[in-house]
């Protein structure tokens, strides 16, 4: 098993990465402090992994809350449904919530955990590549609103992130590709040698080679853990993890949550960020083409929706969490391996990129 730690003082927690982890009976018992664990999952994951998850809780009492599958269910409505169920079962402050699923389940369950009785412990058990390399680590929890993605939420760290690589064997190809957008992001913003490695191992990753997957997930978690330890609440450095997200969130909101997967929107948004950086002379066309080529190697979109105009992007981007004093801030690459946050993007440049 690979193990690393997100170093946050008294709120530090481990990340375990292993194929077959869910098959380890009782593995989670020591992380469940009280007598009751409540598993929050969705109706796609439940028939695949719920029985294993219950067994992995050992001798703890277990309740299950199942929500529909889809980005559109990361909502205040489903938040209310889960809260009602917890109250109905008289869940106490020592109840541990377990998020079994992808980013929607993890973000939603985490926000419930942050706010139920002002905070109860929770465990992340991510089952998609995107959630394993990104959303399960770092304590960002949220729900969506029709006017903006992840605008309602809290920073709230789990007590454990448990990544079973074997769950990727049941992941649809489109979902796997969406996760690779976040993987590629880490190489662009933080580690040029990792980007090089991804270029030479894309065939192995597309064929779900276990060794390649484990190395990929481990490196992404190492980078995310390092960034979060230095800047837990996104006061500076952590913002670079949002490469492509300002453009991407606008696509998701405008197209309707779930029509474009998060990773697909981030992929297109990453190319837009590269084009913006080129206009500022921060990135060469050769580097931008390498990034676009690697995204295309995983069948990811590299342009935005045909039916989305400049004004639609700007409408949503002005609601982005990185807006300061009315100025949209962008995460832009400075070559491969480094990124910065800037507000020095003119309307003229934006129009050229978005039109």
What is the residue-level pLDDT of the chain in tens, covering all 355 positions?
A: 799 999 999 999 999 999 999 999 999 999 999 999 999 999 999 999 999 999 999 999 999 999 999 999 999 999 999 999 999 999 999 999 999 999 999 999 999 999 999 999 999 999 999 999 999 999 999 999 988 889 999 999 999 999 999 999 999 999 999 999 999 999 999 999 999 999 999 999 999 999 999 999 999 999 999 999 999 999 899 999 999 999 999 999 999 999 999 999 999 999 999 999 999 999 999 999 999 999 999 999 999 999 999 999 999 999 888 888 889 999 999 999 999 999 999 999 999 999 8
Please give the annotated binding residues for NAD(+), written as ranges: 69-74, 103-107, 127-128, 140, 149, 167-170
Q: Is residue 175 part of a domain?
A: no
Do the strands 339-342 and 330-333 form a parallel or antiparallel pair, or are they unpaired? Answer: antiparallel
Read off the CATH number of the domain in which 115 is found: 3.40.50.1970
Residue-range definition of the domain harbouring residue 331: 181-354
DSSP-derived letter for residue 324 is B
Q: What CA–CA distance (Å, rounded) separates 24 from 22? A: 5
- Regarding whether 153 and 7 lie in a shared domain, the answer is yes
- Regarding whether 206 and 331 lie in a shared domain, the answer is yes
H helix intervals, the chain = 46-56, 76-88, 103-115, 129-130, 173-189, 192-200, 202-206, 210-230, 245-255, 262-279, 285-297, 310-317, 347-354
- Regarding whether 151 and 273 lie in a shared domain, the answer is no
Please give the annotated binding residues, written as ranges: 69-74, 103-107, 127-128, 140, 149, 167-170, 182, 245, 262
pTM: 0.95
Contact between 133 and 224 (Cβ < 8 Å):
yes
C-alpha closest to that of 127 among 200, 193, 182, 45: 45
Q: Is residue 50 part of a domain?
A: yes
Q: Is residue 176 part of a domain?
A: no
> Which phi and psi angles does 97 have, rounded to 5°?
-90, 140
Tokens of 151: 């605008």
Give the residue from 170, 190, 206 where a domain finishes.
170
Q: How many structural domains are present in the chain?
A: 2
Please give the positions annotated as active site.
Answer: 118, 140, 182, 224, 234, 238, 242, 245, 249, 262
């Amino acid at each position: 098993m690979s193990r690393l730690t997100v170093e946050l003082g008294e709120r530090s927690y481990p990340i375990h990465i292993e194929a077959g982890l869910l098959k380890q009976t009782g593995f989670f018992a020591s992380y469940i402090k009280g007598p009751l664990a409540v598993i929050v999952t969705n109706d796609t994951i439940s028939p695949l992994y719920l029985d294993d998850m219950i067994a992995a809780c050992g001798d703890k009492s277990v309740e299950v809350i199942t929500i529909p599958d889809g980005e559109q269910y990361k909502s205040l409505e489903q938040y209310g449904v889960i809260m009602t169920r917890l109250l109905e079962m008289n869940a106490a402050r020592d109840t541990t919530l377990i998020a079994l699923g992808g980013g929607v389940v993890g973000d939603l369950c985490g926000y419930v955990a942050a706010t139920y009785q002002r905070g109860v412990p929770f465990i992340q058990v991510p089952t998609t590549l995107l959630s394993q390399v990104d959303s399960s680590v770092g304590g960002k929890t949220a729900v969506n609103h029709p006017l903006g993605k992840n605008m309602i939420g809290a920073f709230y760290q789990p007590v454990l992130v448990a990544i079973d690589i074997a769950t990727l064997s049941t992941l649809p190809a489109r979902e796997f590709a969406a996760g690779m957008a976040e993987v590629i992001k880490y190489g662009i913003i933080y580690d040029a040698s990792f980007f090089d490695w991804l270029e030479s191992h894309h065939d192995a990753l597309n064929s779900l080679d276990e060794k390649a997957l484990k190395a990929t997930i481990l490196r992404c978690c190492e980078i995310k853990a390092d960034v979060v330890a230095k800047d837990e609440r996104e006061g500076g450095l952590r913002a670079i993890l949002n490469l492509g997200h300002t453009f991407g969130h606008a696509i998701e909101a405008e197209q309707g949550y779930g029509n474009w997967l998060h990773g697909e929107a981030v992929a297109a948004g990453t190319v837009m960020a590269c084009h913006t950086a080129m206009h500022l002379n921060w990135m060469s066309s050769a580097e931008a083409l390498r990034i676009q080529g690697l995204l295309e190697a995983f069948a990811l979109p590299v342009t935005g929706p045909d039916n989305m105009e400049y004004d639609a992007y700007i409408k949503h981007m002005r609601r982005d969490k990185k807006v300061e004093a009315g100025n949209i801030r962008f995460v832009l690459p400075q070559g491969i391996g480094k990124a910065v946050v800037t507000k020095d993007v003119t309307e003229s440049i934006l129009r050229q990129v978005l039109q």
